[in-house]
Structure 1
């Protein structure tokens, strides 16, 4: 029996509202209506896997090894990590780089995510930089390499995923080795007992089931770190153009983005009657500055206030009341802007892997 079919009952029991993609690996996302809270509940959080879920022994028996370009290679158990290092919590958006891939035309390679491969959670763990300080980075240290026991479905001798972080990101205060999510032990479906938390970076960099970190003297070249995997072209590309892998760079930032969580697609409202519009705006390393809505096809835009975020990497709530006087079809459009002036485009630039789609979110409805 395919491994995915074995894992499905677990997902159905723990996350009954998620849409499961027809893929060999277990991947699922919530409907947008389930993302209407500042902190996304675990049972509504999307699931992304590149391979089969590993079998996990008792969490207290789990170990994390740190080796490579360090003075003192070390192995810790989970209780030792919790006892020896300061515990911190970071609220941050986690988003798959392929979120919204289904909107690209022509169709690109990869899992055809809708818009639900994103969520905002409280992540608790220890700072990766504290582990690196304990081990003593050597001057040659350039990149981290992350390893876990999940295996490729097609070849069980290969890693399903092995990505890493530039040392500067690994040494940032927000980067964690996490053991809890929303104040509960990190669930197996979300990488428990240990995972990387790298706010602002795509979800692929948040390695799940972490059991080894190797410090390298070069950019990591593990599974899904090469070719066009989780890489973006550094020059514009058109469909059908030959792919030069030398013109692709590792994704280390996520673009400015927003999502309308109410009303939902195919909504109906009465003409002249105010109705609520709300949602969230977020970005990667650069803070959100402003939010705008349009209900006339983008001819005019109105500013909408953003509520304070729970942290620098959390998403920000926006909400307002709209009134549309004329009956007929209507489309609400939402776009965010960051502090460096980058704005969501009407259509995202095409790329061959369908990454980083941050086009304006549109919600169609009817005024009667």
Structure 2
């Protein structure tokens, strides 16, 4: 078997319910039916790669290098990280910036993700801020650049991805160098033995297989940091309209969003019965305020009950009971809002790379006569 086919077989064994995208890199997502739990199990968690899945060897041999704009460059083994720094666990949503890209019309470049490139997990590790403080952050550091051993499949001489974080986010207390997920050692498909956890930021900033953090005196210019990669236009761009890549800004906050996990697409319900609509709402850096649902395609709305999740970066479960009054086709919607008044749009907001689709989630079904 080739390395690629071996990795595919491994993924199918570990994550049998996922849809594997037709792409040279290994990319897969679960159907919504597998996303009904407050903590997404590893077997249901999506997998995103820009290049190969590197062979990482023994965990005991893994070394994390800290260099660049620091006073004391350092090298840390996993055991040394655990021994020197406080271990913390936080719950956070990880979402690919391209989640929902298949809904854009006209289509954009990039993987046609459905709605499954998202999950919520408990991440355990050490604070990146503690590791950087030990090295001594120089005043000129403005960005953290992250490095990994994965390589582009088409050109193995080049990194597959080398993105980073503004220094304020790198030093934020929620940003981790993680070595565990849901209480288990971080699996290789999810970036083990070490990865960045950057709650609120898109998945591209959560560097997998982390082996070096380089503090930079400028915005990091690693692989897929430039051009329109993981960037949004600073002003609206219509389909077919020429655009200037210099007028795109790095995505540093994922938008408010919701996902209906019940009922599922194609549901049936009997007139006069109550239909429970439930799922999860989440946001980036701005706290979630609430979710409302509609059973008539958005003509009327009802506030859902919101159960607090495991911290500000987790997704929160919402639930509402709708009385089904008319037979025929139904369109159930969920719309989340954050505390600053940002609301999921009813229609998709198009952009050239198909990022940050947070239009309301619609689920179609049928109400039949009782």
Match of residue 305 from structure 1: 305
Q: Does residue 117 of structure 1 match 2:86? A: no
Give the alignment of 1:97-176 within 5 angstroms.
97-176=97-176
Any idea what SS the aligned residue of 1:57 has? coil
* TM-superposition CA deviations, 1:181-228 (whole Å, max 9, x none): 000000000000000000000000000000000000000010010000
* TM-superposition CA deviations, 1:89-112 (whole Å, max 9, x none): 010000000000000000000000
Any idea what SS the aligned residue of 1:249 has? strand
Match of residue 314 from structure 2: 314
Q: 1:125, CA displacement in angstroms?
A: 0.1
- The answer (yes or no) to whether the contact 2:82–2:126 under 8 Å persists in 1 is yes
Any idea what SS the aligned residue of 1:306 has? strand
**Distance in 1 of aligned mates of 2:351 and 2:68:** 35
Give the alignment of 1:261-340 within 5 angstroms.
261-340=261-340
Give the alignment of 1:73-112 within 5 angstroms.
73-112=73-112
CA 1:228–1:3: 2 relative to 1, 3 Å: farther
Any idea what SS the aligned residue of 2:221 has? coil
* TM-superposition CA deviations, 1:132-180 (whole Å, max 9, x none): 1100001110000000000000100000000000000001000000000
Say what the alpha-carbon RMSD is for the aligned residues. Answer: 0.8
Match of residue 61 from structure 2: 61
**Distance in 1 of aligned mates of 2:275 and 2:244:** 49
Match of residue 201 from structure 2: 201
Match of residue 4 from structure 1: 4
Q: 1:309, CA displacement in angstroms?
A: 1.3
Q: 1:322, CA displacement in angstroms?
A: 1.7
**Distance in 1 of aligned mates of 2:3 and 2:282:** 35
Any idea what SS the aligned residue of 1:165 has? strand
Match of residue 241 from structure 1: 241
- Length-normalised TM-score, structure 2: 0.98
- The answer (yes or no) to whether the contact 2:303–2:320 under 8 Å persists in 1 is no
Any idea what SS the aligned residue of 1:329 has? strand
**Distance in 1 of aligned mates of 2:269 and 2:257:** 26
Unaligned runs of 5+ in 2: none
**Distance in 2 of aligned mates of 1:211 and 1:183:** 22
Match of residue 184 from structure 1: 184
**Distance in 2 of aligned mates of 1:265 and 1:349:** 23
Any idea what SS the aligned residue of 1:5 has? helix
* TM-superposition CA deviations, 1:18-63 (whole Å, max 9, x none): 0000000000000001000000000000000000000011111100
Q: 1:363, CA displacement in angstroms?
A: 0.2
Q: 1:348, CA displacement in angstroms?
A: 2.2
- Length-normalised TM-score, structure 1: 0.99
Q: 1:6, CA displacement in angstroms?
A: 2.6
CA 1:3–1:233: 2 relative to 1, 3 Å: farther
- The answer (yes or no) to whether the contact 2:277–2:293 under 8 Å persists in 1 is no
**Distance in 1 of aligned mates of 2:316 and 2:68:** 39
Q: 1:321, CA displacement in angstroms?
A: 1.8
* TM-superposition CA deviations, 1:58-107 (whole Å, max 9, x none): 11110000000000000000100011000000100000000000000000
Q: 1:243, CA displacement in angstroms?
A: 2.1
Match of residue 43 from structure 1: 43
Unaligned runs of 5+ in 1: none
- The answer (yes or no) to whether the contact 2:86–2:126 under 8 Å persists in 1 is yes
